[in-house]
Amino acid sequence: MGDLLLFINFYLIPGIVLGSIYALGAIGVSMVFGILRFAHFAHGDMMTLGAFIAFSAIGWLGVGPILALPFAMIGTIVVTLGIDRVFYKPLREKSTIIVVIASFGVALMLRSLIMVVWGVNTETYSSGISMPLVFLDSFRIAERHIWMMAITIAAMLGIHWTLSKTRIGKAMRAVSDSPELSRLAGISTEKVVQATWIIGAGLAAIGGVFIAWDSQIHANAGWDLILPIFAAAILGGIGKAYGAMAGGMVIGIAEEVSSYPWLGDGPLLSPGYKTGIAFAIMVIMLIWRPSGLFRGRVY
């Protein structure tokens, strides 16, 4: 197998898949930050929730991960709207730090709830190893990776369409631009907030299902992704949905590609240090260009 194919099959494709997962989480984090103006630390646990709802759907209905997706999305959206109603809405007028801390509390509760309902074991969607498709002799790509990339692209096109063509999407950008003027213009902030949670939770659920589908799922899986997801949101520019997409891709690919043997025979960076990449990118961006690549908001 040529070096290039090896690189694509084992580093680039997994990087794009990981990047998709980060992007799906980061878009929601970034939009929540832009519109509700707080860092939502329970976002990773929403991803875990989606993954486990799909796990149940697969177990009970015998469907595959793709058909389980709508269940995961709807379930996660309903729970998230409930969380907003009970925990975040009463704090809407309070200072940001109070809501941020509340989101930590929600993260803990959600994770505990997941452990109570689904247990603390690591689960997988399918038993056995799925054979990769083989194209062109040695270019290999697993069928699930093709699906994940296609679904991610579809989701991003959907986001783009929503934000640029629909009334509620434009209103979301308006609230992100100027909350006070939005209210004075008659835009219903509550509708916009709900739309933000629906989109954020829907995408988080997809990302969570991808984590589980690609490897396995356990109750801490989403929480463990909070660092690269925030790094992706910051890299792209807080409040910028397209920035978060790009940021997620860059960090996912950078993490995977960093363990390619660029110099000599061993991996450039031991895979154990992957998360360090996201952390380094986040720190560098915060120092060098806090508005991110897409000129987001700076706090």
Partner 1 sequence: MSVLELVDVTAGYGEGADILHNVSLKLDPGEIVSIVGPNGAGKSTAMKAIFGLLVMHGGKITMGSHDITGMPPEEVVGKGVGFVPQTDNVFPNLSVEENLEMGAFTYDGPLEGRLKNVYELFPPLLEKRNQAAGTLSGGQRQMVAMGRALMLEPQVLMLDEPTAGLSPKYAQEIFELVIQVNASGTPVLMVEQNARQALAISHRGYVLVDGQNRHEGSGPELIADREVAEMFLGG
Binding footprint of partner 1 on the chain (CB under 8 A): 167, 170-171, 173-174, 176-178, 180-189
Minimal distance in Å, beta carbon 103 to partner 1?
24
The answer to whether residues 212 and 125 touch, using CB atoms and an 8 Å cutoff, is yes
Q: Which is nearer to partner 1, 189 or 216 (CB)?
A: 189
Q: What is the distance between the alpha carbons of residues 211 and 88, in angstroms, rounded to a whole number? A: 27
Q: What is the DSSP letter of 37?
A: -
Q: Give the nearest distance from C-beta 270 to partner 1 in angstroms.
A: 42
Residue 181 structure tokens: 């003027």
Place of tokens 């960093």: 258
When the beta carbons of 85 and 183 are compared against partner 1, the nearer one is 183
**What secondary structure does DSSP assign to 242-284, as a single string?**
HHHHHHHHHHHHHHHHTTS--SSSS-SS-GGGHHHHHHHHHHH
* Nearer to partner 1 (CB atom), residue 171 or residue 250: 171
Nearer to partner 1 by Cβ, of 81 and 174: the residue is 174
Shortest distance (Å) from residue 166 CB to partner 1: 11
Q: How far is the CB of 191 from partner 1 (least distance, A)?
A: 9
* Residue closer to partner 1, measured from CB, 21 or 187: 187
Residue closer to partner 1 by CB (options 6, 174) is 174
Q: At what angle do helices 43-61 and 65-83 cross, to 10 degrees?
A: 140
CB of 261 to partner 1, least distance (A): 44
How far apart are CB 186 and partner 1 at their closest, in Å?
A: 3
Measured from the CB atom, is 92 or 289 closer to partner 1? Answer: 92
d(CA 142, CA 134): 8
Long-range Cβ contact pairs of 52-57 (< 8 A, separation 24 or more): 52/114, 52/117, 52/118, 52/123, 52/208, 52/212, 52/217, 53/205, 54/125, 54/205, 54/208, 54/209, 54/212, 55/118, 55/123, 55/125, 55/212, 55/217, 56/118
Q: Tell which residue, 208, 197, 223, has the closest CA to residue 111.
A: 223
Rounded to a whole number of angstroms, the minimum distance from the CB of residue 86 to partner 1 is: 21
CB of 171 to partner 1, least distance (A): 6
Round to whole Å and give the CA distance between 173 and 182.
Answer: 10
Question: Contact at 8 Å (CB) between 103 and 42?
Answer: yes
Nearer to partner 1, 110 or 246 (CB): 246
Q: Rg of the chain's alpha carbons, rounded to an integer?
A: 19
